[in-house]
Each structure stands twice: as C-alpha cells, then as structure tokens.
C-alpha cells in the first residue's frame, strides 16, 4: 500500500452553541411578536358538524352504513367518520361526489 497517498480524515460533530442564561429584551420582544403573528394565522376550512349530521341523516335514510358509503365513494370508512364529526378538512371533490349520491345535501 505504499503506492496510495490517502490522507486520514477525522469527522467531529460541532458542539452545540451555549444558550444565554436569561433572554434579552430583544429576544422577549421577538417572542411576543411571534405569538401575535401566530394569532393572525388563518385556520384551514373544515366540514361543519351540521354538514356531517345532515350527511349522517341522509345516509341512514337510505339505509347505508359508513362502510357502504365509503365503498361507493372509494374512500376509507374513517374519512366518513371524520366528515360526520366535523374533523375533516374541506374537499370540494368529495362534496361533488356526495351531491351525486345525495342530491338534497
């Protein structure tokens, strides 16, 4: 191996920077502004609980359970459950498919 001229490489993890013992006034004002900007964030639109109740009522009127409806829409049963409980994010395509099955929705 005398013909090879490899050099040894040593990899070390950089030490973590030390945290200041107490926050400065600048840090405190930055934290307050971040909290205020978090309050301004718009939450995504979800299906309402009323919509879910209406869907559940129409589904029961057609004597379908959640599994049957999920099979017809080609989605998971848990999606139907979340929709009826108002936990699912709004999906226009899903509403369109539901309106085909339940025109008076």
pLDDT per residue, tens digit, the chain (105 aa), is: 566 777 777 777 777 676 656 666 666 676 767 666 666 677 889 999 999 999 999 999 999 999 999 999 999 999 999 999 999 999 999 999 999 999 988
H helices within the chain, ranges in order? 25-39, 49-61, 66-73, 77-84, 92-101
Tally of residues, the chain: 105
Structure tokens at 102: 């339940």
Every domain of the chain and the residues it spans: 49-101
DSSP letter (8 states) at residue 89: B
Class of domain 49-101: mainly alpha
Decide if 67 contacts 58 (C-beta within 8 A): no
Spatial distance between the Cα atoms of 34 and 43, rounded to a whole number of angstroms: 16
Q: What are the residues facing 89 on neighbouring strands? A: 46
Q: Which pLDDT value is given to residue 60?
A: 95
Q: Which pLDDT value is given to residue 43?
A: 80
Spatial distance between the Cα atoms of 79 and 87, rounded to a whole number of angstroms: 9
Q: Which pLDDT value is given to residue 47?
A: 92
Q: Which pLDDT value is given to residue 42?
A: 77
Q: Which pLDDT value is given to residue 36?
A: 65
């Amino acid at each position: 191996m005398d013909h090879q001229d490899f050099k040894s490489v040593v990899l070390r993890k950089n030490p973590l920077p030390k945290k200041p013992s107490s926050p400065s006034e600048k840090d405190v004002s930055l934290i307050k502004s971040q909290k205020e900007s978090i309050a301004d964030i718009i939450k995504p639109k979800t299906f309402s609980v009323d919509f879910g109740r209406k869907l559940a009522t129409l589904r029961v009127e057609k004597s379908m359970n959640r599994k049957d409806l999920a099979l017809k829409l080609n989605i998971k049963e848990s999606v139907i459950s979340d929709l009826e409980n108002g936990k699912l994010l709004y999906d226009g395509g899903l509403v369109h498919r539901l309106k085909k099955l339940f025109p008076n929705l």
